[in-house]
Amino acid sequence: MEEKTLISILIPNYNRGKLMAETLASIIAQSYPHWEAIVVDDGSNDESDRIGNEFVNKDNRIKYFKRDRTPNGAPTCRNIAFEKSEGEFFIFLDSDDLLAPFCLEQRINSILEHPEYDFWVFPMLLFKNDPSNATYLWNKTNARSELLRFLELDAVWQTSGPIWSRKAVDRIGGFTEGLACWQDVDFHLKALIQNFKYIVLDYLKPDIYYRQHESGSISQGEISTPPKMLSRQKIFMDHSLALHNKMTDEIRSSLKVLGTNVVIGAVKSLNHSVANTCLLFGLKNKIFDTRFLIKVRFLQFMFLLRLNRLPVLNQFIQFLIKRRRVVSSIGKFHYIQNQ
């Protein structure tokens, strides 16, 4: 590997012009100079085009494109950016997140030290306004396998946490276009199911900052719009099928957690099509059992008649739901900067 190894930073953007400017500024500030940043805009109607082109004129390592094909969404933009890239290694960065000044240098040094892997994972801090005040890690590894934790929606790392080799991204086939949610979970599950070689370097200093918005959540909150419910259904069914020949009791249990999340979310949003499709699929593939079927039918009846509004019955419903959930560790680990 040459000292001038090029790192491609791939950024989808939609109506985040001002935040994108902060993201690009954090890239320009890198101590490692051999990078390219490729922004693909998803049809913004704010100042993104003007701001993006200003950065292009300021630094020729930055490239700004408009999405030129369907479907819309971050997965398509990321794939277009990858197609236009020239780098040997890749970071998928969101247009509102920030790199620490030493990020690329730390990552390329780690690759040189551990060249045998397909991807390398680094710690990330969460922040709201000022990254210097960030005090919580995205997540941490533990004795449980990363595959099981991703299936249970306890994502061990976020989209920007890893740096990938070109060969690895090619093998994955890029992001699944058309997904309205859980795109990063889907992408990382594809790598884990295919047994990619990777290393989690969580003993190193966090080198990236994930921006938390007041209106959003990074946990496994309910996602009820029809496109998002269909995306969740697809992810549950696709990865269940991909794991069919690798099935163990642990994997089955984690798939049950994932499927339950999808089914219960569909029941609560009265999306009976998604709920029934996933329920029957889970029964056929021995992920769910008849006891779960009975409970889901009961919940569907309760929500259909709006009986969940009654305090006593609502408490019982929440008890049934929580029994099938795994508490996520995302954002739970305190970290002292400059330690």
Percent of the chain with pLDDT over 70: 94
The DSSP secondary-structure symbol of 310 reads S
pLDDT over 60 at 216, yes or no: no
pLDDT at position 286: 96
Q: If DSSP codes are grouped into helix, strand and coil, which group holds residue 176?
A: coil
Task: Give the pLDDT of residue 2.
Answer: 59
Look at residue 321 in the predicted model and tell me its pLDDT. 65
- Say which amino acid occupies 226: P
Give residue 318's pLDDT: 73
User: Model confidence at 78, in pLDDT bands (50, 70, 90)?
Assistant: very high
Burial class (CB in 10 A: 0-12, 13-18, 19+), 90: buried
Average pLDDT for residues 194-216, to the nearest whole number? 91
Q: What is the CATH topology of the domain spanning 7-211?
A: Spore Coat Polysaccharide Biosynthesis Protein SpsA; Chain A (3.90.550)
Outline which parts of the chain fall under CATH 3.90.550.10.
7-211
pLDDT of residue 105: 98
- Give the tokens for residue 158: 């976020």
13-57 pLDDT, tens digit per residue, is 999 999 999 999 999 999 999 999 999 999 999 999 999 999 999
Question: What does 91-147 look like in DSSP terms, one character per residue?
Answer: EE--TT-EE-TTHHHHHHHHHHHSTT-SEEE--EEEESS-GGG--EES----SS-HH
Span 260-275, average pLDDT: 92
Instruction: Answer yes or no: is pLDDT of 200 > 90.
Output: yes
> Over 90: is that where the pLDDT of 119 sits?
yes
pLDDT of residue 323: 58
292 phi, psi to nearest 5 deg: -65, -40
Render the burial of 135-145: b for 16+ CB within 10 Å, e for the rest: ebbbbeeeeee
Label residue 105 exposed, middle or buried (CB < 10 Å: 0-12, 13-18, 19+).
middle
Q: What is the pLDDT of residue 222?
A: 46
Higher-confidence position of 60 and 312 = 60
